[in-house]
Amino acid sequence: MPLLQELPEKHIFQAYGILLLENNHRFVKKLKQHYTPSIHGHKTWNSSFLLMDYFLHNETLEYEQTIMELGCGWGPASIFCAQHATAKVTGVDRDDEVFPFLEVQSALNEVEVKTQKASFEKLTKKDLADYDMLIGADICFWDKLTKIHFNLIKRAFQAGVREVVIADPGREPFYELAELCLDYFDDCELIDWYSTEPEHFEGDILHITNTKKPA
């Protein structure tokens, strides 16, 4: 994607065609006076850029898909999907204190991302049934999350979700999740990947496709 000739102001950076705020941007500083994200929702995580690069290099991301981002945080991957493919995106996070940061960045990129406060283990088949794809970036960082994500993926496929794509820098709980998925699902890949914007970053992509035909 072409780079902007000039960024609109200081402490904004561009990656894969979207604009994002640095921690010392005036809006972020102002938001942090009123909101205190927990569960690591205090910045943009690099695994989001792995997702963006991966989507640009394969045909996973289709026009106007319905997408749920798990553990969306500030929402860079959600914003990318909404802008790049006019996707209808919902960012889900257990911590609703992250949503004001997502909303500011969505407005900066002139896209809409819906938000939903929910724990992963409490997302039901009914909650998941309206989505084509689930995505997540750096969301498997605690040991207990391995089984929670595995069960969530199974529920999602039972609900009719077609694909799940998760990016990670290479944490042990993520690799344990990948092993479970590779053993259980017929169409599952664990792929070494790297992104080049805003700088070089390496990690892994777990891409699982639902092979069951919808009822």
Residue range 175-211, pLDDT digits in tens: 999 999 999 999 999 999 999 999 999 999 999 999 9
Residue at token pair 């805003």: 198
pLDDT at res. 4 = 47
Considering the domain boundaries, does residue 111 fall inside one?
A: yes
Considering the domain boundaries, does residue 95 fall inside one?
A: yes
pLDDT at res. 13 = 87
Considering the domain boundaries, does residue 6 fall inside one?
A: no
Number of neighbouring beta carbons within 10 Å of residue 62: 13
Considering the domain boundaries, does residue 21 fall inside one?
A: yes
pLDDT at res. 80 = 97
Residue 31 C-beta-side C-alpha neighbours within 13 Å:
23
Q: Which range of residues forms the domain containing residue 156?
A: 12-209
Band of residue 24 on the pLDDT scale cut at 50, 70, 90: confident
The CATH number of residue 116's host domain is 3.40.50.150
pLDDT at res. 92 = 96
Number of folded domains in the chain? 1
Q: 40 or 87: whose pLDDT is higher?
A: 87
What's the per-residue H, E or C state across the chain? Answer: CCCCCCCCCCCEEEECCEEEECCCCHHHHHHCCCCCCCCCCCCCCCHHHHHHHHHHCCCCCCCCCEEEEECCCCCHHHHHHHHHHCCEEEEEECCHHHHHHHHHHHHHCCCCEEEEECCHHHCCHHHHCCCCEEEEECCCCCHHHHHHHHHHHHHHHHCCCCEEEEEECCCHHHHHHHHHHHHHCCEEEEEEEEECCCCCEEEEEEEEECCCCCC
Residue range 118-175, pLDDT digits in tens: 999 999 999 999 999 999 999 998 899 999 999 999 999 999 999 999 999 999 999 9
Distances (CA, A) of 137 to 68, 176, 201: 12, 16, 13
Residue range 89-116, pLDDT digits in tens: 999 999 988 999 999 999 999 999 999 9
Check the CA dihedral 28-166-170-201 and report its sign: negative
**Both tokens of residue 67?**
């997408």
Band of residue 212 on the pLDDT scale cut at 50, 70, 90: confident
**Both tokens of residue 97?**
């204190």
Considering the domain boundaries, does residue 5 fall inside one?
A: no
7 has a pLDDT exceeding 70: no
Considering the domain boundaries, does residue 2 fall inside one?
A: no
Residue at token pair 């205090």: 42
Considering the domain boundaries, does residue 123 fall inside one?
A: yes
